[in-house]
Every structure is written in C-alpha cells, then in structure tokens.
C-alpha cells in the first residue's frame, strides 16, 4: 500500500458507495475518514445484485473470501413473459461470466454486503452520528461542519450522501429528485417456504404490461428476495418507503404467472418504495469537492447498476487522486468526473429506457421486443461486455 497520507479525504455517507470508495481510497494510501449521519450503519432489508464490473473491484480490495461467505452466484439470467412464463431470454451468468470477465456475478442481502465493506474499514475512522450541515472550501482544504458541532478540515471532500445529497445541493443548488412513475414492493421470503416451486439459482425477471417482477436468492440461499415493480401515476406518501400490504402487491400482480403470485403470497411483510431518479448532472465537482454514487447519478434500478456504478466511482476516484497526488486535488477530481460521467449517464438513460421496454402492453411493440430478445438478446456475454468488462480502476495518467 503506497503512503499518501499527506492527503486526507472525508467521505460523507456510509452507504455502499461511500464505504466502497473509502476502502478504495485507503487501499491507495490516503488518510480516509467516513462521516455518516445515522447512529448505526444499516442497509434496508432487501437484496442487491452486484455484477462483475463491481465485484472485480471489491475482490481487488481483498474482500473475495468475505463476499463468498454470503454471496449467491446465479447460474443464469432468465427473462420471462408475465402470464404464461414463456422464456424471452436466458443468458449465462455463473462460471461463464466469471471466465469471461474475471469476477463473479453475485446476489447479496444488502446488510451482508454492507457489513463486509464496513468490516474491512477501521471502525475508529467511521464517524457515526455525524450529519454534514455545511462546508467551506479554502486554498488548502475543505472545512466540513457537522450538525453535532464537530468541524473537520480535509484535503478533499466526497459527497456519497445519496439521492437527497446535501453536498450536491450546496454545490449546485436545490433540485428535487423526480418520481419515475414506478413503485416497487420489496420482500424477503424464507427459501424453505418456496421449496415446492423448485426455483433454480437464477436472476429472474418477469415482464408484463405496466410492471415487472424480479426475484433471486440471497443470504447464502436462505432467503428469496423479490422486487415487484408497477407503474403508478403519483407517489403521495410522505416517506419514500413505507410498509406495504401483501394484498395490494397481489392485486397489482393479478393475472400474473402462479410462480410470481406464490412468491408474493409467501412473504410476511412487504415494503413499498416510490422510485425516484435524477436527470444527469453536467458537473460533479467544484474545486476539492466532488460527488459519488446516487448523490450524482441516481437511476432507476432497471439495469441493477446504481450501487455497481458507485463502486466503480470509488475505484476511479482513488486512481485519479493517486495519479495527480496531493499537489493538484481539483485536477484529479476533474479527471475523475470526466472519466465517470459519460458511463454513469449512459446507465441512467438505459435504466429509464428499460421502464418502457420491460413494461410493454401485449401488442406489436411487445412482440418486436420478444423477437429481438430471442435472436439477439442484450445479456449474452458478447452483448454485455461493454458493461461487465470495464475496469474502473484503470486510468490514463494524463487528465483528458
């Protein structure tokens, strides 16, 4: 590990993006601290898919054995029709993807992933109960002021503070995230309750009119996670996430395949989320301050890439700061942003496009989609290479 402790970096936010970035920056030798507003670190009770473009970076940080303890490796991605279950596309994951891209495709319980990330970082450098209020940039650093009265000066400040980002608001002005017209019911079902369905270890996505239904195993195979997405005109609840009624979820998926309905019916409790995203930003950085993860590229989860992109952000940020060094932090942040913004923007746009593509009503457009998936799907090893083969830690020495 190089010694670059002459540069201190403050990461605001201890979500998956902030923790992965903190690890990458520490691995690159910087003096890193994480400031998280919550009193404890805790992810929501739900699953997450981590593709090889992100798992490769986590493995390089020495986390492979810890990730393998709870991560499930699906053997294929299976996209199916909503009512009769007909296969639209089945493409390899598992060993084939690992051989092609040098890293696995994983399914995790979010809490498992977060605890692997947090467990690899010195606990005395994760400052809980620190809510960033304001900050001021000076010539040689940034003074961050927390609402508990603590003031800290760092050489670079990274806003990994999620879709409501305080750092983003302070840099670029307030702007509300936009409701995407979709809600998601999420649930975790003990796998033994679904034994009768004979589920394979797959990444499943059922597509139908106005919605889609994703399910996969997490927590070493003990639980089945589902995300049941339905279009809805408005989000009127105060919170972005709320307890949902299983009966409402079943009603939303009335007429869908018995397997879909059996999974929903087996859950004890479900949460309903309004899905929000943001328009792509034109800039992420000002001087010694930058953004990362949902703070700068919140996206619909329909490419399963929000967290993966935040993990990529951290790797590129560490490489850029390593390349430019303490002497020119603003140039390093410009370099980071120039490398990351086009890819994150592309994924924001593809995620939005999948809302239409996944939710087509039965008819000519749906038939054309199905024919395209059957002949030249988008998840074959060749088709997905642009996404999974990308190595975000490889950075040209000179800023573009």
* 48 interacts with ligand FAD by CB under 6 A: yes
CB atoms within 10 A of CB 133: 14
Contact range with ligand FAD by CB under 6 A, out of 32-40, 74-82, 89-97, 374-382: 32-40
Contact range with ligand FAD by CB under 6 A, out of 58-66, 84-92, 127-135, 337-345: 127-135
Cβ-based burial of 273 (10 A; exposed 0-12, middle 13-18, buried ≥19) = buried
Contact range with ligand FAD by CB under 6 A, out of 130-138, 280-288, 320-328, 362-370: 130-138
* 12 interacts with ligand FAD by CB under 6 A: yes
Size of the site for ligand FAD (CB under 6 A): 35
For the beta sheet containing 270-277, the strands, ordered from the edge strand earlier in sequence to the opposite edge, are 87-92, 76-81, 202-208, 211-218, 223-231, 178-190, 270-277, 241-244
* 37 interacts with ligand FAD by CB under 6 A: yes
* 131 interacts with ligand FAD by CB under 6 A: yes
Q: Pick one of 121, 185, 273, 358: the residue that binds ligand FAD (CB under 6 A).
A: 273
Q: Pick one of 28, 32, 49, 215: the residue that binds ligand FAD (CB under 6 A).
A: 49
Nearer to ligand FAD, 42 or 62 (CB): 42
Distance CA 397, CA 90 (A): 40
Contact 4, 324 (CB under 8 A): no
Residues 281-300 contacting ligand FAD, CB under 6 A: 293-295
Nearer to ligand FAD, 17 or 322 (CB): 17
Least distance in angstroms from the C-beta of 248 to ligand FAD: 17
Binding track over 84-123 against ligand FAD, x by CB under 6 A:
----------------------------------------
Least distance in angstroms from the C-beta of 13 to ligand FAD: 3
Least distance in angstroms from the C-beta of 398 to ligand FAD: 28
319 φ/ψ angles, rounded to the nearest 5 degrees: -65, -40
Nearer to ligand FAD, 155 or 306 (CB): 306
* 52 interacts with ligand FAD by CB under 6 A: no
Least distance in angstroms from the C-beta of 368 to ligand FAD: 27
* 14 interacts with ligand FAD by CB under 6 A: yes
Among residues 382, 311, 332, the alpha carbon closest in space to that of 108 is found at 311
**Apex CA 223: angle with CA 74 and CA 48, to 5°?**
55
Nearer to ligand FAD, 126 or 329 (CB): 126
Q: Pick one of 308, 315, 321, 329: the residue that binds ligand FAD (CB under 6 A).
A: 308
Residues 183-242 contacting ligand FAD, CB under 6 A: 184, 186, 227
Contact 340, 21 (CB under 8 A): no
- CA 293, chain centre distance (Å): 8
Tell me the pairing of strands 76-81 and 8-12: unpaired
Nearer to ligand FAD, 308 or 373 (CB): 308
* 323 interacts with ligand FAD by CB under 6 A: no
What residues contact residue 337 under an 8 Å CB cut-off, 6+ apart?
Answer: 283, 284, 285, 290
Nearer to ligand FAD, 8 or 309 (CB): 309
Q: Pick one of 89, 285, 305, 351: the residue that binds ligand FAD (CB under 6 A).
A: 305
Contact range with ligand FAD by CB under 6 A, out of 155-163, 262-270, 341-349, 356-364: 155-163
Contact 153, 136 (CB under 8 A): no
Nearer to ligand FAD, 194 or 308 (CB): 308
Nearer to ligand FAD, 38 or 251 (CB): 38
Contact 27, 323 (CB under 8 A): no
CA-CA-CA-CA torsion sign (145, 143, 326, 320)? positive
What are the catalytic residues? 216
Which residues of the shown chain bind ligand FAD in the complex (CB under 6 A)? 12-18, 35-38, 48-49, 130-132, 160-162, 166, 184, 186, 227, 273, 275, 293-295, 301, 304-308, 310
């Amino acid at each position: 590990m190089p010694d670059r402790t002459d540069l201190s970096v403050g990461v605001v936010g201890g979500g998956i993006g902030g923790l992965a970035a903190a690890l990458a920056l520490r691995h690159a030798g910087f003096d890193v601290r994480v400031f998280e507003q919550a009193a404890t670190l805790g992810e929501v009770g739900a699953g997450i898919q981590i593709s090889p473009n992100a798992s490769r970076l986590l493995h390089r940080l020495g986390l492979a054995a810890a990730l393998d303890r709870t991560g499930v490796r699906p053997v294929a991605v299976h996209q199916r029709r909503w009512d009769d279950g007909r296969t639209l596309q089945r493409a390899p994951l598992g060993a084939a993807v690992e051989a092609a891209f040098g890293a696995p495709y994983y399914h995790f319980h979010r809490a498992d992933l977060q605890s692997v990330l947090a467990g690899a970082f010195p606990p005395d450098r994760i400052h809980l109960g620190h809510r960033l209020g304001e900050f001021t940039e000076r010539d040689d650093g940034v003074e961050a002021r927390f609402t508990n009265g603590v003031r800290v000066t760092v050489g670079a400040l990274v806003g990994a503070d999620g879709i409501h980002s305080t750092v983003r608001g302070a840099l670029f002005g307030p702007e509300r995230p936009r409701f995407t017209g979709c809600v998601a019911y999420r649930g975790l079902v003990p796998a033994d309750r679904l034994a009768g369905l004979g589920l394979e270890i797959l990444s499943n996505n059922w597509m139908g009119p106005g919605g889609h239904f994703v399910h996969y195993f997490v927590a070493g195979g003990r639980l089945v996670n589902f995300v049941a997405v339905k279009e809805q005109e408005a989000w009127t609840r105060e919170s972005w996430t709320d307890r949902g009624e299983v009966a409402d979820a079943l009603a939303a998926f009335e007429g869908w395949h018995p397997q879909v309905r059996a999974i929903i019916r087996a859950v004890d409790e479900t949460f309903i989320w309004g899905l929000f995203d943001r328009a792509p930003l034109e800039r992420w950085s000002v001087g010694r301050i930058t953004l990362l993860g949902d703070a700068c590229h919140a996206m619909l989860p329909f490419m399963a890439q929000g967290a993966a992109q935040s993990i990529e952000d951290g790797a590129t940020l560490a490489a850029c700061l390593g390349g430019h060094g303490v002497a020119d932090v603003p140039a390093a942040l410009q370099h980071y942003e120039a490398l990351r913004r086009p890819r994150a923007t592309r994924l924001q746009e593809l995620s939005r496009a999948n809302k239409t593509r996944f939710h087509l009503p039965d008819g000519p457009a749906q038939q054309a989609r199905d024919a395209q998936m059957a002949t030249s799907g988008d998840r074959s090893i060749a088709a997905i290479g642009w996404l999974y083969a990308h190595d975000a830690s490889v950075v040209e020495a000179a800023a573009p």
